[in-house]
Structure 1
Amino acid sequence: MIFNAIDQHEARSVLVKEMRMLRRMLAIFASVVSTVSANAQNASNDQASATALDDEIVVVGSQEKQATKHQRAAEYVRSVSQAPVSGQYARWHDPICPRVTGLDATAATLVETRIRQVATAAGMPTNVTSCRPNLVVIFTLDGDTTLKRLEQQRFAYPRSISPEERRAIRVAKQPVRWWTDTDIEGADGEPLTASPNPGLGALDLPANQDTKYSSTYSSSMITTKVRAVIPAAVVIVDVTTASGKKLTSVSDYLAFMVFGRARAVTGIRTPTIARLFDASCPGCTALTDADRAYLAGLYRGPANRPANTTRAALIGGIVADR
């Protein structure tokens, strides 16, 4: 009996322990389930929040950035370019031969060297030996008086400068005044003639004393039979009004203007040497990447292209270079 009592007591003790252990395991299991459920709920809430946030975020992709670059490049080209000549962008074809007057020999050499450097970088031909000047740069203390003297000597303007353009040059009070001679020649550089090719027979074509004819034959719808050229240019630098600008900056400025047949601009978003005298762009003191790309694009492609084709190529070149 004593042994039976002990056995029953031990059995009850074991049972109590097992029940306690079971309750403890159930409590742990319930805690784990609760934690997992809470984590799952939190994850679901996080996913919903991420989805809502994703709906509000707009990612600016490369396509939109490229469109912005293209828009700014188009604004730049449109702003700095002068009106086309006979539907084309005019450019130089003869080797550049600059002659600088009004400065001492050292300063004049510096300007001439810088002009040749800009031309070479753009892919233009240059002439460093003795040559006949086709780009005359005059530094003077009085731009108006110098211009009047040139006009009196009938040296100032070539025939291609219209009376309206001459008046604009006279009244301009710019620190740097320039003008380029322009002409039209055959696509391969041959001069135009005053009469049609005799091989074409008798033609009753509308003409006047300024009418010229080309003997170039082509069936292309992309190229033209002629090209617009710049044979010469004159620049007057008024030292008094250009005071405060470095000689290298003025050299870059005048080189860009006459090589690109460009014009001074203000207020556009793209930095350019064409804004050298624009007070809103104090950092525009040297050729920019856009300026270099513009000149390189102008002189890289074939010359006998319509203006819209050349313009598109210039814009594309500037976008690719930036």
Structure 2
Amino acid sequence: MTISGWMLALALAVQTAPQAAPPVDRQRAPDTVDDIAVTGVNAEAVNAFVGELLEPARLGRNAGQIARWNDPLCVRVIGGEPDVNTRLGEQIADAFRSLGAPLEEGYCRKPNVMVVIADNAGGFARVVTQRYSNRLFGMRRQDMAEFANPARPVRWQHRTRTTAIRRSAAATMVAANLQGSKDAAAADLPNSRLSLSTAEEIDRALIVIDPRRLDNVPSRGLAAYVAFAVMLDLPQLPDVVGADTILNLFAPGGPTELTAWDRALVAGVYAVGVGQPFTNQESQITRDMRRSLVDAALTPPAP
């Protein structure tokens, strides 16, 4: 049975604000021009944001990498009323599109993103950790404990895998020559401190929503939150208090849509070169994110 089938069976079993612009000084002489001041992005804040939300998959900071999706996303929502499932699924897909994620259009026959709306979200999460401790969690006890507890509006878990990096014919031939192999197709570049021959991919994501803890947040805000959590292999309980991110959707006055920081982080993760150790990827993403945030600050808002 596929993971989507397991999730559906389990679900059925367990379910018994930007600041206002300053006022214009109309007394100022018309021939004067205000100086334009560009405020730089706080580098420490960006470093802290990236460091909190990104972590290496399984193998640690030196050998591990940042896991990303490589296949089109196929999302299915179950557990709620049919119209709720359909509407939320469409809104999540819209949020994916806004982030540039490839989608499998039409009816999702084999979902790789399963969103479960569970009235007894805690009970459902505990059953998942017990039944799929290896297949979904890789027997990582800390991940299982954090997924099951504490109670919160939305939980997530990704399943990742290590894959060989697809190389061009020229790169394969170079690898064969370096290794003295006559079989170019089987040859691969060796791992080093600067380059790895493998990449980490996300191939499944499970999202569990507790409808009793949504606090009347807008459905599109919830969809944006879910999409952000799906796109990145986030830690279970990130500390983002005070940060400008959709992950603060449930905090008083929190954003209800993807922020410039969210978009810059996702863009950086999916632009970074594969085959690099985590520390190199993290540094590159941090640099790209700073540039993106500066560009966003200099871009005038759409009319």
Q: What's the secondary structure of 1:240's corresponding residue?
A: helix
Whether 1:134 aligns to 2:112 is yes
Moved more, 125-134 or 259-268: 259-268
Pairing 1:1-322 to 2, within 5 Å after superposition: 65-66=39-40, 68-86=41-59, 87-130=64-107, 131-150=109-128, 154=132, 158-188=136-166, 216-217=188-189, 222-263=194-235, 264-266=237-239, 268-279=241-252, 282-322=253-293
Given that 2:129 and 2:148 are in contact with CA atoms closer than 8 Å, whether structure 1 keeps it comes out as: no
Q: Which residue of 2 aligns with 1:45?
A: none
Given that 2:129 and 2:137 are in contact with CA atoms closer than 8 Å, whether structure 1 keeps it comes out as: no
Q: Which residue of 2 aligns with 1:13?
A: none
Q: In the aligned structure 2, how far is the partner of 1:77 from the partner of 1:99? A: 29
Q: CA deviation at 1:224?
A: 1.6
Residue 243 of structure 1 aligns with an amino acid whose one-letter code is D
Given that 1:72 and 1:269 are in contact with CA atoms closer than 8 Å, whether structure 2 keeps it comes out as: no
Given that 2:160 and 2:201 are in contact with CA atoms closer than 8 Å, whether structure 1 keeps it comes out as: yes
CA deviation map 1:29-49 (0-9, x unaligned): xxxxxxxxxxxxxxxxxxxxx
Given that 2:245 and 2:255 are in contact with CA atoms closer than 8 Å, whether structure 1 keeps it comes out as: yes
Percent of matched pairs sharing the same residue? 21
Residue 260 of structure 2 aligns with an amino acid whose one-letter code is D
Q: In the aligned structure 1, how far is the partner of 2:214 from the partner of 2:139? A: 25
Q: CA deviation at 1:172?
A: 1.8
Q: Identify, as 1 or 2, the structure richer in helix.
A: 1
Q: 1:308 to 1:219 in 2, by over 3 A?
A: closer
Residue 258 of structure 1 aligns with an amino acid whose one-letter code is V
Q: Which residue of 1 aligns with 2:172?
A: none
Quote the RMSD (CA, aligned, Å): 3.0
Query: Gapped runs of 5+ residues in structure 1?
Result: 1-60, 190-199, 202-213
Residue 118 of structure 2 aligns with an amino acid whose one-letter code is T
CA deviation map 1:160-200 (0-9, x unaligned): 251221122222211111111111110129xxxxxxxxxx8
Q: In the aligned structure 2, how far is the partner of 1:223 from the partner of 1:252? A: 34
Residue 94 of structure 2 aligns with an amino acid whose one-letter code is Q
Moved more, 151-160 or 226-235: 151-160
Given that 2:224 and 2:257 are in contact with CA atoms closer than 8 Å, whether structure 1 keeps it comes out as: yes
Q: CA deviation at 1:232?
A: 0.1
TM-score, L = length of structure 2: 0.68
The count of aligned residue pairs is 236
Given that 1:151 and 1:157 are in contact with CA atoms closer than 8 Å, whether structure 2 keeps it comes out as: no
Q: CA deviation at 1:242?
A: 2.0
Q: CA deviation at 1:82?
A: 3.4
Q: In the aligned structure 1, how far is the partner of 2:189 from the partner of 2:238? A: 39
Q: What's the secondary structure of 2:257's corresponding residue?
A: coil
Residue 181 of structure 1 aligns with an amino acid whose one-letter code is R
Q: In the aligned structure 2, how far is the partner of 1:98 from the partner of 1:156? A: 23
Q: CA deviation at 1:271?
A: 0.7
Given that 1:256 and 1:262 are in contact with CA atoms closer than 8 Å, whether structure 2 keeps it comes out as: no
Q: CA deviation at 1:290?
A: 0.8
